[in-house]
Amino acid sequence: MFTPIGTSSLYFRGSLDGDGHVLRGLKVSAAGYAGLFGKASYATFKNLKIEGAEIESMGSYAGILAGYISGGNVLRCNVQGNISGKSYVGGIAGYASGSNIIGCQISGELIGSSYTGGILGILTGNSGNLQECSWEGTVRGGANTGGLTGNLTSGAIFGCVARTDVEGTENVGGLAGELMGRVEDSYAVGKVTSKTGKNTIGGIAGYSKSSTIKNCYASCQMGDKGEGLAYVYSSTTIQNSFFDSDIAGKTSPTSQARTTQQMFSMDTYAGWDMESIWEHKEGAYPLLRKIEFFKNQLFELQVYNRTWHSAIIRWEAISGVAEYELHFKGKVEKLSEPEVFIEDLFPDTDYELKIIAKLDDSIQVTSKILNLRTRKISAVKGLHSMHKEGNSITLTWDQIAEAQGYEVTYGENVILTDTNTCTLTELNNNVPYVISVRALLEDGGELISSLIVEKIYELEPQTDYAGKFLAKCEGQTWFIDEVENLLNQKGKSICTVSSKDDFAAIYALNLSGRGISGQIPLAIGELYQLRYLYLANNNLSGQLPKEIDTLAYLIGQDLSGNQFTE
């Protein structure tokens, strides 16, 4: 059990900046002045989050943040929990005098006997304000029970929301149980009831005296007791404010009553500031821009295009933001758009970052902390040409498990494919193509292959040297058989050719004893010379392409002495 900081005689005077950190499981049980702080005077609390609090006071003054605060400010705090006590029970504080509560969200369940409110049990003092705050939950109390505050004395409520179920004995209101101040640009949604059947209940205020209600609305179930907006005791100005008569179950006063259909219509809210304070869509109640923004507090950050050295961070844009701040690696960068590109990271390394969205100098909201781990240095591997045919090349590479697809680039051309193979067609002859593959990953990242260079060689039209050779041997059937036999040896290891003399000797050996020694050498010599000319002119250095299928391409594979095999 936690002992509150500060007592009724020894106040806390200082400043606490939570920097967006979350305090969980706070449990306090005290005779009085129960909360994280018992009593604080002219202190500042900001950017603090408390979740799952259990606060109990056997006496007066109970709140999650403090039992009692005098002066000072509570800025951008988010608290959630259950609170119980006797008098002066509130989500932030039981009692606040001359204090400003700005940009806070409170939720939970409250039980008190008097002066009980979702945010404050009582707000008193001319300089005290509730501004751009919200409450969600149930409030159970006695006299002076409200969705935001049990009692507002002299201070003001600006731009606040209560989504609540409020029950008390008397002076029970959707925003304030007892109102003696000003309420402007605020609304209450939920249920307001008196368990004793008193008539001093209202959608905005249960009891109103010397007050102003301007540009407000209520959509609260109320039964047959009370008033749509406020039970007015005296001197109360209600200006341009309305209640949903279908929900409230009452139709008077008629100047304030509107049906649900009328409440959904833009025409009802003529004169309201729909540019900077409210936003409205036909078919719905108007909403407060900054409050709906705060409902997105701890907003999510999304990662795109994560690589081993960089990433893109995005988040949902919210209206009304003046600027964003990136807090990363101990530095702060100002941003105007809901996106940032971060780079110069190390591979396979963990990073933390957050975004702060700022509406103005006093109102800001922090994103959830993003844990980012860069990729290991890796690439698309195994890229090579698998097959060439005509003017096309078929490529293949190693499959990437996380890839949603691949982008193949060759020259200025790009092909998209969802498999790890691709055929490039209609390639130009004798043009080197620089080829790469980019794997497109599920999270928007990518992996790149190394580069390869491929080229289609244009071969000169084949000359039928074998046909010419055979034509010279017309009528010599036995010789033609020998030549055809030699042609059939393509792809086999036949011999080693090192010179023209060796080449001619092969044929002399095969044809010896045939009785045509004067004719054949001439034909063999012509065939050899033509083949040599072809090789030389095409700068092939005597190498035999695999695609050849004539005798002229078969012989003379390597004039320097290599075996000609397939």
What are the tens digits of pLDDT across the range 357-396? 876 655 667 788 899 998 877 778 888 888 787 889 999 9
The one-letter code for the residue type at 544 is: L
C-alpha to C-alpha distances, 372 to 304, 313, 349, 442, nearest whole angstrom: 11, 10, 8, 16
How much is the mean pLDDT over the chain?
A: 81
Residue 291 has what pLDDT? 78
Do both 353 and 390 map to the same domain? Answer: no
Residue 8 has what pLDDT? 83
Do both 146 and 290 map to the same domain? Answer: yes
pLDDT 10s digits, 399-449:
988 888 999 999 888 999 999 999 999 898 888 888 989 888 877 777 888
pLDDT band at 515 (very low <50, low <70, confident <90, very high): very low
Q: Domain with 192 in it: what CATH number?
A: 2.160.20.110
Give the pLDDT mean for 483-495.
45
Residue 468 has what pLDDT? 55
Question: Does 28 score more than 90 pLDDT?
Answer: yes
pLDDT 10s digits, 320-350:
677 899 999 989 999 999 999 999 998 889 9
Question: Does 173 score more than 70 pLDDT?
Answer: yes
Q: How much of the chain exceeds pLDDT 70, in percent?
A: 78
pLDDT band at 471 (very low <50, low <70, confident <90, very high): low
Query: First-to-last CA distance in the chain?
Result: 88
Q: Domain with 422 in it: what CATH number?
A: 2.60.40.10
Residue 223 has what pLDDT? 83
Q: Are 299 and 286 in contact (CB under 8 A)?
A: no
Question: Does 120 score more than 80 pLDDT?
Answer: yes
Question: Does 525 score more than 80 pLDDT?
Answer: no
pLDDT band at 187 (very low <50, low <70, confident <90, very high): very high
Domain, as residue range, for 287: 142-295
Do both 9 and 94 map to the same domain? Answer: yes
pLDDT 10s digits, 62-89:
999 999 999 999 999 999 999 999 999 9
84: which strand partners?
Answer: 56, 111
Question: Does 462 score more than 90 pLDDT?
Answer: no
Do both 30 and 104 map to the same domain? Answer: yes
Do both 153 and 241 map to the same domain? Answer: yes
**Phi, psi angles (nearest 5°) of residue 332:** -120, 130
pLDDT band at 518 (very low <50, low <70, confident <90, very high): very low
Do both 213 and 350 map to the same domain? Answer: no
**Rounded to an integer, what distance in angstroms lies between the CA atom of residue 191 and that of residue 178?**
17
Instruction: Give the DSSP H or E segment for 110.
Output: strand 105-111
Instruction: Name the domain boundary from 373, 395, 421.
Output: 373
Q: Is residue 121 part of a domain?
A: no
Question: Does 541 score more than 50 pLDDT?
Answer: no
SS3 content of the chain, % helix, strand, coil (to 5): 15, 45, 45
Do both 487 and 447 map to the same domain? Answer: no
Residue 24 has what pLDDT? 93
C-alpha to C-alpha distances, 25 to 52, 63, 118, 139, nearest whole angstrom: 5, 15, 20, 21
Residue 299 has what pLDDT? 79
Q: Is residue 564 part of a domain?
A: no
The one-letter code for the residue type at 107 is: S
pLDDT 10s digits, 33-47:
999 999 999 999 999
Instruction: Name the domain boundary from 295, 315, 341.
Output: 295
Residue 341 has what pLDDT? 94
Q: Is residue 283 part of a domain?
A: yes
Q: Which of 36-40, 96-100, 538-542 has the lowest mean pLDDT?
A: 538-542
Residue 475's contacts (CB-CB under 8 Å, 6 or more residues apart) are: none
Do both 249 and 311 map to the same domain? Answer: no
Q: Which of 137-141, 146-150, 275-279 has the lowest mean pLDDT?
A: 275-279
Question: Does 463 score more than 50 pLDDT?
Answer: yes
Count of domains in the chain? 5
Q: Which of 503, 506, 491, 487 is nearest to 535 (CA)?
A: 503
Q: How much of the chain exceeds pLDDT 90, in percent?
A: 52
pLDDT 10s digits, 206-263:
999 999 999 999 999 998 888 889 988 888 999 999 999 999 998 888 889 999 999 9
* Number of C-beta neighbours around residue 266 at 10 A: 12
Q: Is residue 354 part of a domain?
A: yes
Q: Which of 94-103, 123-132, 172-181 has the lowest mean pLDDT?
A: 123-132
Q: Is residue 124 part of a domain?
A: no
Instruction: Name the domain boundary from 267, 295, 323.
Output: 295
More confident residue, 253 or 461: 253
Q: Are 90 and 141 in contact (CB under 8 A)?
A: no
- According to DSSP, residue 277 is labeled T
Q: Are 345 and 58 in contact (CB under 8 A)?
A: no
Residue 466 has what pLDDT? 53
Do both 236 and 364 map to the same domain? Answer: no
- Give 301-306 contacts, CB < 8 A, sequence gap 24+: 301/353, 301/354, 301/355, 301/367, 301/368, 301/370, 303/370, 303/372, 303/443, 303/444, 304/443, 304/444, 304/445, 305/443, 305/444, 305/445, 305/446, 306/372, 306/374, 306/375, 306/441, 306/443, 306/444, 306/445
Q: Is residue 170 part of a domain?
A: yes
Do both 151 and 290 map to the same domain? Answer: yes
Residue 372 has what pLDDT? 92
Count, in order, helices (H) and strands (E) of the chain. Answer: 8, 48
* Number of C-beta neighbours around residue 235 at 10 A: 11
Q: Is residue 563 part of a domain?
A: no
What 3 state SS string does 189-249 have? Answer: EEEEEECCCCCCEECCEEEEEEEEEECCEEEEECCCCCECCEEEEEEEEEECCEEEHHHHC
Q: Is residue 188 part of a domain?
A: yes
3-state DSSP assignment of residue 86: coil
pLDDT band at 186 (very low <50, low <70, confident <90, very high): very high
Do both 34 and 79 map to the same domain? Answer: yes
More confident residue, 450 or 27: 27
Do both 421 and 290 map to the same domain? Answer: no
Given the structure tokens 């008629």, which residue do they identify? Answer: 254
Question: Does 294 score more than 60 pLDDT?
Answer: no
Residue 461 has what pLDDT? 55
Residue 110's contacts (CB-CB under 8 Å, 6 or more residues apart) are: 82, 83, 84, 89, 90, 91, 116, 117, 118, 137, 138, 139, 140, 141
Among 143-157, 288-302, 305-319, name the most confident range: 143-157
Question: Does 267 score more than 80 pLDDT?
Answer: yes
Residue 5 has what pLDDT? 95
Give the pLDDT mean for 479-508.
44
Residue 80 has what pLDDT? 95
